[in-house]
Amino acid sequence: MVDRVVEPLLGGVYAGRVDALSLRATMPGLWSAMDEGRSMPEAVASLLPEPVTPPRPRVMGLDGGLSALVEALAAGVTAAGGTILRQTLARGLERTATGWRVVTGPTIDPVAHDADAVVLATPAAPTSRLLADHAPAASRALAGIEYASMAVVTLALPSAQLPALPGNGFLVPAVDGHTIKAATFSAAKWAWVRDASSEVTLLRASIGRAGEVASLQRSDDELRAVALDEVGQALGAPLPQPVDTHVQRWGGGLPQYDLGHTGRVATTRADVTGLPGLELVGAAYDGVGIAAVLDGAVRAATTISSTCPPSTPTRQEQR
């Protein structure tokens, strides 16, 4: 049960190993229900939603893909008078008399950005470095959060030559020894993908688990070949040659909620509490899913809007 159900599910979400992941951090609702004395079946039953008619979809998305959300957020920031600096390294964080200063740019030509408040939505490692001089306990705690890398291989296959696709995809148990950890039949899962073309069917395969470096050291061509072969094996028939492919690598993309994670997060937040105008959000804290990250973002925005009155943006100063 653990090897073939629990680990593939958690491995699909966190790219982690079930014997290292923290139940309290990955499934806080289940942990709380069991901590109240319920058995596992009782705890699970207490978390299931009441049935409704018509039934709500279990998985939802956006037409055009989740990149549409990023584009809409960026457009909203720009329309409201904000500025987005792309491919810009946040090199340092400094306290000022009125708020904070973020230092960007090369060391020989740094640029200072003064602000009433700063939200650090960076991964744990860069957040740790930025907090080193301001919240040393938080910095040490964040430095202890490991990350896993992964790659997503998208295959565009000729529909007429494809075998039948059961369901929306599948998860691969680590004990089976395959390279891919999951496959998503995008055309079956999302109507907008299916409606885009009847001649081409899109599939995705995920590769990469915590502690596995060798699989991601292969070239893009090798990852494409492995994905094509192993998805075909799972379907019981070889897949046709793709019309097109794409390999997207996410280096250090998924934080690992290992044992002790909730303690590290609690230490981080306690240490940062004494720094007004500074908020932390992102996948390193309360969940790697969009819903969990948005909850944290709402809390941060609410805190900032209640403590920092609107003001005229300060100009950028060359240092």
Closest CA to 88 of 121, 116, 120, 111: 111
For residue range 39-91, list pLDDT tens digits in order: 999 999 999 888 888 887 777 889 999 899 999 999 999 999 999 999 999 99
User: Whole-model pTM?
Assistant: 0.87
Q: Alpha carbon 317 to chain centroid distance?
A: 34
Mean pLDDT of the chain: 91
Q: Please determine, for residue 297, whether its predicted confidence score (pLDDT) is greater than 70.
A: yes
Indicate the pLDDT class of residue 254, thresholds 50, 70 and 90.
very high
What's the pLDDT at 172? 94
Domain-by-domain residue ranges, the chain? Answer: 2-47, 68-145+257-314, 147-255
CA atoms within 13 A on the CB side of 15: 27
Tell me which CATH code domain 147-255 carries. Answer: 3.90.660.20
Superfamily for the 68-145+257-314 domain = FAD/NAD(P)-binding domain (3.50.50.60)
| Within this chain, domains 68-145+257-314 and 147-255 share the same CATH topology | no
How much is the pLDDT for 11?
A: 79
Q: Is the pLDDT of residue 311 over 70?
A: no
Provide the pLDDT confidence category of residue 307 given band limits of 50, 70 and 90: confident
Range 221-251 burial, b when 16+ CB lie within 10 A, else e: eebbebbbebbeebbeeebbebeebebeebe
SS3 letters across the chain: CHHHHHHHHHHHHHCCCCCCECHHHHCHHHHHHHHCCCCHHHHHHHHCCCCCCCCCCCCCCCCCCCHHHHHHHHHHHHHCCCCCCCCCCEEEEEECCCCEEEEECCCCCCEEEEECCEEECCCHHHHHHHHCCCCHHHHHHHHCCCEEEEEEEEEEEEHHHCCCCCCCEEECCHHHCCCEEEEECHHHHCHHHHHHCCCEEEEEEEECCCCCCHHHHCCHHHHHHHHHHHHHHHHCCCCCCCCEEEEEEEEEEEECCECCHHHHHHHHHHHHCCCCCEEECCCCCCCCCHHHHHHHHHHHHHHHHHHCCCCCCCCCEEC
Q: What is the mean pLDDT of residues 226-252?
A: 96
